[in-house]
Structure 1
């Protein structure tokens, strides 16, 4: 189960109440910063923009590829560890507006994580250190450290033990070929 806080709304759907949940000028600022970062090829500049203007926690040497789309409403709820790669056109959400409620949740992405292109990460998710997320995955539940996951719906393809065993086999094969 994802770790989100739920807020009920009355009458109109929760997106109709957007500026009761987040200030208009915050959304405008965040939109401009995120759009600048999406198109810049300079990784240190992206991380600086995210840390400075969006109040995100971004680890050293983390790389956000082109076109990564961060949550415009609550980017401060996203944290990414060190030396992690976020693939092209990935979307990271910290909110979801539904008909009768909206939900907010922290997104914690560990260190040494690889997230493939076109992945969507939903609010309230933790991706453990050393995990690999296949391209095109809908991350709707936590990802265990060191595991390899993929698909829609997301499934664990290899757990940490299987990944470690396969890595040792690959090293052995490369050394003996």
Structure 2
């Protein structure tokens, strides 16, 4: 199970009640910053925007490709280590609004992690140092250090030990 905090709601679905959970002007500001960052090809500028205006924690030499969509409501719950790559059009969510509840969870991406294009990371997961996430993967649970994962739903393709053995042969 993912590490999320659960908040029940009464009445209409949780998304309909969004501005009871996050301030409207925070969403407007975050939307503008995220859209600017999605389209800029300048990696240092993206990282500066994310850190300065969204409160994300990003390690040195980490690169967000074009069109990455970070969580618009709670981007401050995203942490990315050093020298990682977040692939084109990846979505990183720190929230999920359901019918009877909403959930929040930190997303922690380690050092030297490679996230393939068009992947989706759900709230409450950790991706260990040196892991590789194949393109198009739905990351619905945490990824062990050094593992190679892929698919929808995500499965471990190679463990760290299996990857190291392959590299030696």
Instruction: Please report the TM-score for the alignment, with normalisation by the length of structure 1.
Output: 0.95
In structure 1, the residue matched to 2:148 is 148
* Structure 2 counterparts to residues 30-69 of structure 1, below 5 A: 30-69=30-69
In structure 2, the residue matched to 1:172 is none
RMSD between superposed Cα atoms in Å: 0.4
Q: Does 1:106 align with 2:113?
A: no
1:96-143 C-alpha deviation (Å, 9 max, x unpaired): 000000000000000000000000000000000000000000000000
* Structure 2 counterparts to residues 60-139 of structure 1, below 5 A: 60-139=60-139
Deviation at 1:75, TM superposition (A): 0.1
Runs ≥4 residues deviating over 3 A: none
Structure of larger gyration radius: 1
Query: Aligned equivalents of 1:168 and 1:68: distance in 2?
Result: 34
Q: Which runs of 5+ in 1 are unaligned?
A: 170-177
Deviation at 1:3, TM superposition (A): 0.2
Q: Which runs of 5+ in 2 are unaligned?
A: none
Query: Aligned equivalents of 1:135 and 1:166: distance in 2?
Result: 20
